[in-house]
């Protein structure tokens, strides 16, 4: 059995509305930690944004006298708004994400008709991480792993015996994430997952979402060995062709995530809110029919000038 002193202490925070897990991984001896995938709450009907989940994380840090070294994003989330910028302002901790975020920014900057003032170089983030890059965390080392497939920019973070995989894997009874977003690839996801599953059998995998199928209790941690034996999409014996066929067919039946359009506009900004060009008030743009082939040009006022 692994020596607990050699592994981080992991605390999970669950946002029920989006079924999202955020984490604090800490070296309790050195009193330093990282925050992974924090969430802002958005009430769609009123466009109200709140910071309840982020406040819980801040309270946890205060109670345990932890200093935050980094805020890590596994990817630009399409199902919740990131609280990264909010927490950065309070903790003076840098926000890190994979360097391929620039590819995601280019796609969604066009979708939102962003002006040239919106930089498409990842500079909204403090650190753009490459595959294999390492960051110090007290007695531990954070190893960044590029795991594309769900999006081209997905990263996993290995800290001791724990690996935080974002949306690459779900719990074994839920399988894997969709791959039909811009730049996604079921084939790439298969190879990324098998890279994770090549880690030692006792490695703890922490997922970013748990949808609690069949009404079971919340779960967010399983070992590499458990995934290899029980993951309904990628257990031992499922080959690449079978996985790609399954994932492609499943993705074709999925609807656009409910919060995708609000989320992406914020998350490509590292969690900062866009502002209106005239009022300078926070505002989120909703491009009409962004994921539809239906022509709405006849409904656009003054289309010809």
For position 70, which CATH number holds?
Answer: 3.60.15.10
Per-residue tokens: 58: 């801040």
pLDDT at residue 48, rounded to an integer:
94
Domain membership of residue 292 (yes or no) is: no
Ranges of residues in the chain whose predicted pLDDT is under 70: 1-5, 302-305
Is residue 28 one of the residues assigned to a domain? yes
Adjacency order of strands within the sheet including 81-82: 48-50, 39-43, 81-82
Q: Which domain holds residue 249?
A: 7-257
- Does the residue 291 lie in any domain? no
Contacts of residue 63, Cβ cutoff 8 Å, sequence gap at least 6: none
The answer to whether residue 156 is domain-embedded is yes
User: What is the per-residue pLDDT for 295?
Assistant: 85
Which residues have a Cβ under 8 Å from the Cβ of 276 and sit 6 or more positions away? 282, 283
* Backbone Cα Rg of the chain: 19
Task: Domain count for the chain, please give it.
Answer: 1
User: Tokens standing for 299?
Assistant: 């409904």
Give pLDDT tens digits for 139-180: 999 999 999 999 999 999 999 999 999 999 999 999 999 999
Maximum alpha-carbon separation in the chain: 71
pLDDT of residue 304: 57
CA gap 86, 283 in Å, rounded? 16
Tokens of 84: 């990264």
The pLDDT value recorded for residue 76 is 97
What's residue 205's pLDDT? 98
Question: Is residue 1 in a domain?
Answer: no
295 assigned to some structural domain: no
């Amino acid at each position: 059995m692994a020596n607990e002193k050699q592994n981080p202490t992991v605390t999970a925070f669950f946002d029920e509305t989006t079924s999202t897990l955020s984490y604090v991984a800490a070296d309790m001896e050195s009193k330093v930690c990282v925050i992974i995938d924090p969430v802002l709450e958005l009430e769609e009907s009123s466009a109200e944004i709140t910071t309840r989940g982020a406040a819980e994380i801040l309270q946890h840090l205060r109670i345990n006298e932890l200093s935050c070294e980094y805020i890590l994003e596994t990817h630009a989330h399409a199902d919740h708004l990131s609280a990264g910028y909010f927490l950065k302002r309070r903790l003076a901790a840098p926000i890190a994400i994979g360097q391929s975020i620039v590819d995601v920014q280019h796609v969604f900057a066009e979708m939102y008709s962003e002006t040239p003032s919106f930089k498409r170089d990842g500079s909204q983030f403090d650190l753009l991480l490459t595959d294999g890059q390492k960051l110090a965390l007290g007695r531990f080392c954070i190893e960044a792993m590029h795991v594309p497939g769900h999006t081209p920019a997905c990263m996993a973070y290995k800290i001791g015996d724990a690996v935080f995989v974002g949306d690459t894997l779900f719990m074994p009874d839920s399988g894997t994430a969709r791959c039909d977003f811009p730049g996604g690839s079921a084939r790439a996801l298969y190879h990324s997952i098998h890279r994770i599953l090549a880690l030692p059998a006792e490695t703890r995998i922490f997922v970013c979402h748990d949808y609690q199928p069949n009404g079971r209790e919340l779960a967010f941690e399983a070992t590499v060995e458990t995934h290899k034996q029980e993951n309904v999409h990628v257990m031992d014996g499922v080959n690449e062709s079978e996985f790609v066929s399954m994932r492609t067919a499943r993705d074709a039946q999925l609807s656009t995530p409910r919060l995708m359009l609000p989320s992406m506009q914020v998350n490509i900004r590292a969690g900062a809110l866009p502002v209106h060009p005239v009022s300078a008030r926070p505002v989120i743009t909703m491009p009409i029919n962004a994921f539809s082939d239906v022509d709405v040009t006849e409904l656009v006022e003054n289309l010809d000038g």
